[in-house]
Homo-oligomer: A and B are copies of this chain.
Amino acid sequence: MKKIIIPKNIVTANSENSILYNSAIVVEDGIIKRIISTDDVSLLRNEYEIHNYENYTLIPGFIQTHIHLCQTLFRGLADDLELLDWLQKKIFPFENAHDENSLRISTQLGINELLKGGTTTILDMGTLHHQEIIFDELIKSGMRAYAGNCMIDRNDLYPKFSESTKWNLDNTYQWAKTFHNSSDGKIKFGFAPRFVLSCSENLLIETKEMMNDFEGSLYHTHSSENKKEVETVRKITGKDNVEYFDSINILDDKTVLAHCIHLSDDEVKILNKNNSRVSHCPSSNLKLGSGIANIPKLIENKISVSIGADGAPCNNSLSIFKEMHLTALIQKPLHGPTSMDALTVFRLATIEGARALHLENEIGSIEVGKKADFVLLDLNKSDQPINVNENIYSAIVYSADKSNVKAVFVDGIQLVNDSKVKFYDEILVLENAKTELKKLIERTI
C-alpha cells in the first residue's frame, strides 16, 4: 500500500495556495507521508508502487456538504416545480416508495457519479427508512462520508411519509451506534432532521442531545431555502428559521445548514455567533426558483461556506464542476465581476468543505500528514485555457467538467481509473436502475 504519485503539478489548496511542480507525493497507510522532488523518485522506485500521471494535475478530492443519494434515481422526474410542490407531488411520494433495492441502486448511481466527478467526501442526508442500505453502499465504495437517516415526525405535505418521534429517535440511535466511525473511520454520523416543517421541536432538540453520545458527529438540516417555507416556519414558531434554531439551542459549530437563502441580518449574526456552517447549493436554489444565497456576505461575516449539489432531481446532476461554475457566476451580477473569483470558489469546494465537516486537519488540501484523498485532472485539452499552468483555477472552476477527471484516490486507494469507477459495472447499474425505477413508480400509483 506504499505508493508514489507523480503528477504534472499539484494544486495544494494549502494556506498559501501553493502550486507545486516537479513534485511527487509519497503515500503510506492512506496518508500523504512526504512530498518529494521528482528527482528523488528513482531512489525509491523499488519500494513503492509508482503511479505516473505526468500530464495530469493533482488536486484535493472535492468535498460536497449537502447531498441526497436516495434521490439520484429520481433525476428528471421532478422538473420545473417550486420547493414545496416538488416535495409534496414528487419527492416525498418517491422517497416513501423506496424499498431496499431501489434505495441501493439510487445510492450506487449517486456514488458512481460523485466519484467519477472527483468528489471524495460528502455530507449526505439519507432517507426515513432503510438507512442501513445507504451506509452499506458508502462503506463498500470506500468513499468518505458523513451520513445519517433523514428524520421526519410530522409531514403536512405528505402525511404518509412520517414516523413517530420515538421511532425516529430509536432508529437513529441504533443507526448511529452501528455506523458512526465505521469503514476505518471514513464514515461518520450526520444527524439529519429534515427541516422545521417536518420535525417536531422535541425531535429537533432530542436529536441535538443525542449527539453527546457520538463524538465527532454532525447535525445536518435544511434552513431558509424558500420564501413559503420561511413564512410557514414563522407562522408555526413566531420566528425566522435560523432564529428559531438558535432559540432551541441547536446551532453550534457542529451544525450544517443547507441553503440559507432568505436570512435576516440578525440571522447572519446568529450564524456567526454560533460558528454554524452553511452549505451552498446554487443549481438547486436556481432550479427550484428558491433564490440566490448571499454568499459574499456570509463569507464577509466569517461564516463557514461550502458547496453541495443537493439531490439529482433538483439540479439535475451531482457535478461539483457545475456547482463551482454557478457559485462563481451567479453572484457577479449582484456583487460585481470580481466577486467569487475562481480561487475562492475552488477553496469552497475543497478545504472549506473540509472545515465545514471539522475535517480540515485530515482532508481538503494536499499537505504532509493529511489523508491521501486526491484527484487527477487532465487539463491539457483544447477546450481549456491554452496556457493552463498560469490559469489553473480558472480552468478548474470555469472550463472543466467531469470529463477532465481521470483518476480518484481516497485514503490512498484508487477508486476511479481512466474515468471509470473501479468497482461498478456501470451498464449493470443502469439496467438495475431502470428495473427498480419502474417498480418504484408502480408503487407510487
Chain A residues at the B interface, C-beta cutoff of 8 Å: 73, 75-77, 79-82, 86, 109, 112-113, 116, 283, 285-292, 315-318, 322, 325-326, 328-330, 332-333, 335-339, 341-342, 380-388, 391, 394-395, 398-399, 401-403, 426, 429-430, 433-434, 437-438, 441
The docked-state distance in angstroms from the alpha carbon of A401 to that of B81 is 22
**Given the known A-B contacts A332-B288, A333-B286, A399-B317, are A386 and B433 also in contact in the complex, defined by CB atoms under 8 Å?**
yes
Least CB distance, A440 to chain B, in whole angstroms: 10
Least CB distance, A273 to chain B, in whole angstroms: 28
Q: Is the CB of B402 within 8 A of A336?
A: no
The docked-state distance in angstroms from the alpha carbon of A335 to that of B333 is 17
**Given the known A-B contacts A290-B333, A333-B289, are A338 and B437 also in contact in the complex, defined by CB atoms under 8 Å?**
no
Instruction: Report B-chain residues with C-beta under 8 Å of the C-beta of A112.
Output: 382-383
Q: Which of A80, A289, A383 has the most chain B CB atoms inside 10 A of its CB?
A: A383
The docked-state distance in angstroms from the alpha carbon of A21 to that of B398 is 37
Q: Is the CB of A288 within 8 A of B337?
A: yes
**Given the known A-B contacts A342-B79, A394-B76, are A387 and B332 also in contact in the complex, defined by CB atoms under 8 Å?**
no
Q: Is the CB of B386 within 8 A of A329?
A: no
- 5 A-B pairs with CB atoms under 8 Å apart are A75-B384, A116-B383, A386-B437, A401-B402, A402-B403
Least CB distance, A445 to chain B, in whole angstroms: 14
A283 — nearest CB in chain B belongs to which residue? B329
Instruction: Report B-chain residues with C-beta under 8 Å of the C-beta of A113.
Output: 382-383
**Given the known A-B contacts A289-B333, A333-B289, are A391 and B76 also in contact in the complex, defined by CB atoms under 8 Å?**
yes
Q: Is the CB of B430 within 8 A of A394?
A: no
Q: Which of these, B116, B322, B383, B387, contacts A437 with CB under 8 Å?
A: B387
Q: Is the CB of B285 within 8 A of A399?
A: no
Instruction: Report B-chain residues with C-beta under 8 Å of the C-beta of A391.
Output: 76-77, 79
Q: A76-B385, A82-B337, A315-B398 are in contact. List 7 more A-B contacts (CB 8 A).
A: A76-B388, A79-B341, A290-B333, A291-B333, A326-B329, A382-B429, A401-B402
Q: Is the CB of A75 within 8 A of B289?
A: no
